[in-house]
């Protein structure tokens, strides 16, 4: 069984929902119609372009091209992490913390899955490597964004509490420990909710796509379980690494809270 091909007309019908939402936004003065239309347009163009890129990549599988594609994905994800925060670390730290954390976590769990679980030959086969990395990286990006945003907000709002703890002799790690735990917890909420609701409240995207493409439901479920576990690992470890590095950056060598190392994100 093959997937039913969709025509441009089919996609245009689905796009009417976006235009209807934009119209309601204008009528209700929500102010999100422009963002909605721009996001929909970006999504369409980006997905069409990546479809063409992946077609070429699949036809010319080589570790160099797979690595280059992975680096581009990582760089874009790092930028998205940076711009989604209300306050971010100044300088290259704003981009570097999220990018490094995603590299350590997402790439590690994806390579682990490709080598030890999926066992493709070669292990970097783009048909498996790119989709798995994309799903893990995208969800890890969301978790790290939420975690870092909560950490900087907590540090800003609880400045007096943290400085009081420092004055009482606590180390920087102890003084900000509550905010750090809260930030990590917030970053992991989306994947925890997704795992808890999978199969009952929702059918995850990868599983649904495989079923629509004609794969046996049980095999689709197996792959979805694998992906969910990979996403959970990547999100959890990535958020922990990012929040820990960012928390340390908020203090200088004399263990003073340095909120001047944060800057508003103009987005």
Closest CA to 90 of 263, 256, 258, 250: 263
pLDDT score recorded for residue 71: 92
Q: Are residues 56 and 67 in the same domain?
A: no
Lowest-pLDDT choice from 3-17, 30-44, 175-189, 223-237: 3-17
pLDDT score recorded for residue 2: 59
Domain membership of residue 2 as a residue range: 1-60
- Residues 227 and 209: their CA atoms lie apart, in Å, by 13
pLDDT score recorded for residue 266: 55
Q: Are residues 6 and 116 in the same domain?
A: no
Q: Are residues 145 and 201 in the same domain?
A: yes
User: What's the mean pLDDT when you consider all of the chain?
Assistant: 87
pLDDT category of residue 55 using cuts at 50, 70 and 90? confident
Q: Are residues 24 and 113 in the same domain?
A: no
Q: Are residues 129 and 143 in the same domain?
A: yes
Count up the domains in the chain and report the number: 2
264 phi/psi in degrees, rounded to 5: -60, 145
Residue with tokens 């590690």: 108
Q: Are residues 128 and 56 in the same domain?
A: no
Closest CA to 177 of 243, 111, 90: 243
The top-scoring range by mean pLDDT among 40-54, 187-201, 237-251 is 237-251
pLDDT category of residue 32 using cuts at 50, 70 and 90? confident
pLDDT score recorded for residue 213: 72
pLDDT score recorded for residue 3: 63
Residues above pLDDT 90, as percent of the chain: 38
Q: Are residues 81 and 136 in the same domain?
A: yes
- Residues 133 and 172: their CA atoms lie apart, in Å, by 35
Q: Are residues 109 and 144 in the same domain?
A: yes
Task: Over range 127-147, report the average pLDDT.
Answer: 90
Each residue's pLDDT tens digit, 217-253: 888 888 888 888 999 999 999 999 999 999 999 998 8
Q: Are residues 117 and 233 in the same domain?
A: yes
Q: Are residues 157 and 25 in the same domain?
A: no
Q: Are residues 29 and 148 in the same domain?
A: no
Structure tokens at 147: 């975690």
Task: Over range 169-193, report the average pLDDT.
Answer: 92
Task: Over range 201-227, report the average pLDDT.
Answer: 78
Q: Give the residue ranges of DSSP H helices in 108-216.
A: 108-112, 126-157, 159-167, 172-175, 177-197, 205-212
Q: Are residues 14 and 82 in the same domain?
A: no
Q: Is the distance from CB of 207 to CB of 220 less than 8 angstroms?
A: yes
Compute and round to an integer the Cα radius of gyration of the chain: 21
Each residue's pLDDT tens digit, 167-178: 999 999 999 999
| CA angle centred on 239, ends 238 and 241, rounded to 5° | 65
Closest CA to 93 of 212, 219, 260: 260
Structure tokens at 199: 């199969």
Query: Residue 28: is its pLDDT beyond 90?
Result: no
Helix/strand/coil for 199: coil
User: pTM value?
Assistant: 0.81
């Amino acid at each position: 069984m093959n997937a039913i091909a969709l025509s441009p007309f089919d996609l245009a019908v689905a796009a009417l929902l976006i235009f209807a939402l934009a119209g309601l936004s204008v009528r209700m003065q929500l102010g999100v119609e422009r963002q909605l239309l721009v996001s929909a347009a970006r999504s369409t163009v980006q997905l069409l372009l990546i479809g063409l890129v992946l077609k070429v990549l699949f036809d010319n599988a080589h570790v160099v091209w797979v690595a280059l594609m992975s680096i581009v994905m990582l760089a874009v994800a790092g930028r998205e992490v940076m711009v989604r925060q209300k306050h971010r670390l100044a300088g290259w730290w704003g981009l570097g913390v999220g990018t490094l954390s995603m590299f350590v976590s997402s790439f590690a769990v994806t390579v682990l899955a490709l080598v030890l679980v999926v066992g493709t030959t070669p292990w970097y086969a783009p048909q498996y490597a790119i989709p798995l990395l994309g799903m893990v990286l995208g969800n890890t990006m969301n978790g790290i964004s939420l975690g870092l945003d909560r950490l900087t907000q907590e540090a800003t709002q609880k400045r007096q509490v943290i400085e009081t703890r420092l004055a009482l002799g606590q180390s920087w790690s102890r003084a900000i420990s509550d905010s750090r735990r809260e930030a990590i917890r917030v970053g992991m909420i989306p994947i925890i909710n997704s795992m808890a609701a999978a199969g009952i409240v929702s059918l995850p995207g990868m599983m649904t796509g495989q079923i629509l493409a004609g794969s046996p439901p049980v095999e689709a479920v197996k792959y979805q379980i694998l992906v969910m576990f990979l996403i959970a690992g990547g999100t959890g470890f990535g958020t922990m690494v990012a929040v820990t590095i960012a928390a340390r950056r908020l203090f200088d060598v004399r263990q003073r809270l340095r909120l001047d190392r944060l800057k508003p994100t103009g987005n």
